[in-house]
Amino acid sequence: MTSQQHTAYTIGHAPSQIKHHEWRTASNSAPHLLPHLASLLTTNPSLKLLDIGCGPGTISASLAQRLLPSGHVLATDISDSVLERAKDHALSQGLSVPDNISFQKASVYELPSPDGHFDVVHAHQVLCHLDSPVPAIREMLRVCKPGGLLSLRESDMKMWCFWPELPSLITFHDLIVNVMLANKGQDKGGRKLVSWVLDAGVERKDVEAGFGTWCYSQEEDRKWWGEAMIERLRTGEMRKKGIELALTTEEGVEEMIRGWREWMGREDANLGIVNGEVIVRKPEV
Amino acid sequence: MTSQQHTAYTIGHAPSQIKHHEWRTASNSAPHLLPHLASLLTTNPSLKLLDIGCGPGTISASLAQRLLPSGHVLATDISDSVLERAKDHALSQGLSVPDNISFQKASVYELPSPDGHFDVVHAHQVLCHLDSPVPAIREMLRVCKPGGLLSLRESDMKMWCFWPELPSLITFHDLIVNVMLANKGQDKGGRKLVSWVLDAGVERKDVEAGFGTWCYSQEEDRKWWGEAMIERLRTGEMRKKGIELALTTEEGVEEMIRGWREWMGREDANLGIVNGEVIVRKPEV
């Protein structure tokens, strides 16, 4: 384990990146977990859930709402400022801090909880930012109680499909993948999730695998997504890293921004993004 | 409209192809339609549904079961032998023919029904086999009643993600896409669905779009899928067309079969396949 592993969030916490994440909720970003959660709650209303790498905390808060009144979410992240923002979001949603949800700074490689503490351990698009996903999964399993669930959802960056296939959007897609790889992240996490959890010591019979999608096609979704991408190109890590690594140029960035504007304006436009999903049942001792 | 449009099913009705389709049900292959269907049935228990290009009829039969006792499915295909098989399947599922479900030979370009006849018109992976999807959609809309629904689900052939990425499977994927294109089919139907329905005269506000997936990772799913692909390579259109068009060779086919065998045997294996989905609400007159 290197010190980089403790502190790295490869794409940064720029406002553009945070804004891009705020659209996410349990419904659109943890659909594979929801039926399991509903089922667990019928026998255990005081369910304890850990949400790792919570970012702006919109998924964490919507999970906490599903655990009301007796369950609890602990949301962790490696950035103090992001945790503050996530706490504000939880309060804005009418949640009680720390009764319904609490926040703690933590590395995914060293979680601040005893063995077997949580009924459900969840991470959404966290492993794709790590250079060593397997040790992180081992640590997640450590804090999951025997009989509990580990829920993972990871983007497969290769699996974006655009319509129309504007050349500048294809270039954008190459850039986002290459920035991720330059930061030692994972571009194919979605398809590798099963392989990773097996490498972490899980048996195949204890894994349920699937794929989930995001679709940006309705006008408001196109606008939301396109604006978020433009903001990342204007002010985020994408521009900075992309130019620094000579993956693009100022002119290239402007061309991609024009591409997103064109895409947003076309009512026949569509974008599908694919995420791998697994639910791991940790065996009883 | 050419005569080819009336009769072509580009990948053929070989037993290998039919077997490959039999796994499909409404649950795994029409999930976008099911909530709409449940909602419509609450006010209209005698719902009439048209399932176009039914193939072996497993989706049609599972839709008919959801419409019991008073609804009805008409399933069409362009092959008599396939319709016979679909009828046998419906009977084997305890459905009454023709009370719950009936079968009729028909081209998607000339549906044998009056204007506005069906509450729901459904087609699963039909447009991808056509050289002219838009006229087919117009014909589907013609037989849909005002206020009724058109439900489409089309594979996006480019959107397959394998793990592990065995070279022979990548070659297989190229072959299946190229055979589809050589047959004047559509390799990117999933992402183009919104564009196609707009070209057919639908307004954007009447379209709901999404993407759905198939995942082959559990042992029985890997085995089922891998065996189906091997059978297509051994006896189906894939081998015949692939060799005829010089897209592969006998040795190439054997190599791909070995690739699928290896993939099936690996418990870390995964395959995600992405389908575009739309629900179109036909405006009231």
CATH number at residue A182: 3.40.50.150
- Is the torsion defined by CA of B202, B207, B213, B214 positive or negative? negative
DSSP A143: H
Would you tell me the crossing angle of helices A34-43 and A58-66 to the nearest 10 degrees?
40
pLDDT value of residue A21: 62
Nearest to B221 by CA among A249, A106, A3, A194: A194
Structure-token pair, residue B126: 């039909």
Continuous segment of H or E residues that includes residue A181: helix A167-182
Interval A232-241 mean pLDDT: 90
- Is the pLDDT at A269 greater than 50? The verdict is yes
- Is the pLDDT at A222 greater than 70? The verdict is yes
Interval A102-120 mean pLDDT: 97
pLDDT value of residue A285: 83
- Is the pLDDT at B3 greater than 80? The verdict is no
Q: How near does any CA of chain B get to the CA of A194, in Å?
A: 6
- Is the pLDDT at A190 greater than 60? The verdict is yes
Q: How confident is the model at residue A3 (pLDDT cuts 50, 70, 90)?
A: very low
- Is the pLDDT at B267 greater than 50? The verdict is yes
Tally the domains of chain B.
1
CA closest to A208 among chain B residues: B218
Using DSSP, state whether B198 is helix, strand or coil.
helix
Interval B41-69 mean pLDDT: 97
d(CA A124, CA A112): 19
- Is the pLDDT at A267 greater than 90? The verdict is yes
Interfacial residues of B (vs A; Cβ cutoff 8 Å)? 156, 158-159, 161-164, 188, 190-195, 198, 204, 208-215, 217-219, 267-270, 272, 274, 276
pLDDT value of residue B5: 41
Q: How confident is the model at residue A16 (pLDDT cuts 50, 70, 90)?
A: low
Q: DSSP string spanning A77-96?
A: ES-HHHHHHHHHHHHHTT--
Q: How confident is the model at residue B8 (pLDDT cuts 50, 70, 90)?
A: very low
Q: Where are the alpha helices (DSSP H) in chain B?
A: 3-7, 15-21, 26-29, 34-43, 58-67, 80-92, 133-143, 167-182, 189-199, 219-235, 237-244, 250-265
Interval B223-247 mean pLDDT: 92
Q: How confident is the model at residue A2 (pLDDT cuts 50, 70, 90)?
A: very low
- Is the pLDDT at B270 greater than 60? The verdict is yes
pLDDT value of residue B23: 80
pLDDT value of residue A14: 58
Angle at B229 (CA atoms; ends B15, B16), nearest 5 degrees: 0
CA closest to B278 among chain A residues: A217
- Is the torsion defined by CA of B157, B158, B161, B165 positive or negative? positive
Structure-token pair, residue B160: 């397959």
Measure CB to CB from residue A192 to each of B163, B219, B276 and give the nearest one. Answer: B163
**What is the distance of C-alpha B220 from the center of its chain?**
22
Measure CB to CB from residue A268 to each of B156, B164, B195 and give the nearest one. Answer: B195
Q: How confident is the model at residue A8 (pLDDT cuts 50, 70, 90)?
A: very low
* pLDDT, tens only, B127-142: 999 999 999 999 999 9
Measure CB to CB from residue A274 to each of B195, B210, B274 and give the nearest one. Answer: B274
- Is the pLDDT at B266 greater than 70? The verdict is yes
Q: Which of A165, A207, A217, A280 should we substitute to test contact with B (largest number of B Cβ atoms within 10 Å)? A: A217
Interval B185-196 mean pLDDT: 97
With an 8 Å Cβ cutoff, are B161 and A162 in contact?
Answer: no
Domain holding A233, by residue range, is 3-281
Structure-token pair, residue B61: 């039969």
